Amino acid sequence: MSIEIRKLGVIGAGQMGSGIAQVCAQAGIEVFLHDVSEDRINAGLATINGNLAKLQAKDQLTDVERKAAMELIQPAVAYEAFADCDIVIEAASENEEVKRKIFTRLCQALKPEALVASNTSSISITRLASVTDRPERFIGIHFMNPVPRMQLVELIRGIATEDSTFETARGLILRLGKTATVSEDFPAFIVNRILLPMINEAIYTLYEGVGSVDAIDTAMRLGANHPMGPLQLADFIGLDTCLSVMQVLHEGLADSKYRPCPLLVKYVEAGWLGRKTQRGFYDYRSGTPVPTR
C-alpha cells in the first residue's frame, strides 16, 4: 500500500536537486532543500525562482502559481529539518562514498516510516540501501536532466525494496506529471547504460582523429536526428559525471567495451568539465561555444 507524500526532502541544491525541488513544489508538495552550505541552498533557491520566472514569462505559469511554489520550498540547513518528511531524495554528486556518508547520517534524523531515495544515475541501489537502517524503504528515483523539462523518471528497486515503497514512488512520479520506467538494479540502469557508451564512443572518435568536435556533433544531429550532438550533450551532463558512469559500467560489468576514453579522463583531470566550468569539448567563455578540438 502506498502512502501520500506531503513533505519531501531534497539533498543537493545543484542542477538536479533544484530541479527536483521545483517540480515537487509545483505539484503542491512541501519541500525542504539541503546542501553543504547556506550559500549553496540560496543559490539553488535563486535558480528555482529564475526557472519559474521564465515559465511565467512564457505564460506557462501565473504569478500566483510561481509565488505559491516558492513558498512551499524551505531551506534545510541541517538534516534535522527532515524529521517530519515522508521521503527524502538524495541528489548529491555521483560519488558512492559521498552518498554512503549522507545516508548513514540522514537516517538518524528521519522518522522510522520515512522513505529514502537516491537520484543516482548509475550506482547500485542495493549497495546504497545496505548502509541505511531501512533497505526495504529505499529506492532509486532517477530523474533526467533538466528535471522540469524531461518527461522520464527511472525507478530502480534494490533487492530489499518493498512493494509499498515502489508504489509510493510510482505515485509520486505520476503526481509530478511524469512517466516512470522500471529498471533492474544493474550498473547505469537503462538510459545511461545505452547513452553513456555512445557518448564515450563519440569521444573515442574524436581521440582517434576520425572527426573534429564540430564534425561529430553535426553528424549525429543531422544524421541520426539527435536534438544535440554527443559531445555537446557530454558538456551539458558534465564530463566528471560521464566519467563516473563509465567507471561504474567498466567496474560493474568488467567488459572492455565500457573502458572510459583516455581523452575523457584527460579533460576531467584538466578540470574541463563542460558547461559548469566554461570549458569542455567546447569553450563557453566568450558566450558562443567554440570547439576545443
Cα-Cα-Cα-Cα torsion 127, 18, 142, 200, nearest 10 degrees, comes to -90
Query: Active site includes 118?
Result: no
- Residue 192 appears among annotated catalytic residues: yes
37 catalytic? Reply is: no
| Alpha-carbon gap, residue 25 to 70, rounded angstroms | 7
Q: Does 142 qualify as catalytic in the annotation?
A: yes
CA distance 143 to 153: 5
Given the residues 30, 118, 119, 142, select the one marked as catalytic.
142
Phi, psi values for residue 184, rounded to 5°: -70, 160
CA-atom Rg of the chain in angstroms: 19
Give CA–CA dist 137/129, Å, rounded: 9
Instruction: Reduce the DSSP state of residue 36 to 3 states and report it.
Output: coil
Catalytic-role residue among 51, 90, 154, 183? 154
Q: What is the C-alpha to C-alpha distance for residues 264 and 254, in angstroms, rounded to an integer?
A: 19
- For residues 32 and 100, give the distance between their C-alpha atoms in angstroms, rounded to a whole number: 20
How many alpha carbons lie under 13 Å from residue 238 in its C-beta half-sphere? 14
What CA–CA distance (Å, rounded) separates 173 from 90?
Answer: 16
Cell digits of residue 34:
539541503
The catalytically annotated residue of 121, 124, 183, 200 is 121
Whether 73 and 46 have beta carbons less than 8 Å apart is answered as: no
Catalytic residue among 119, 192, 200, 244: 192
C-alpha–C-alpha distance, residues 172 and 203, integer Å: 37
Q: Which residues are catalytic?
A: 121, 142, 154, 192
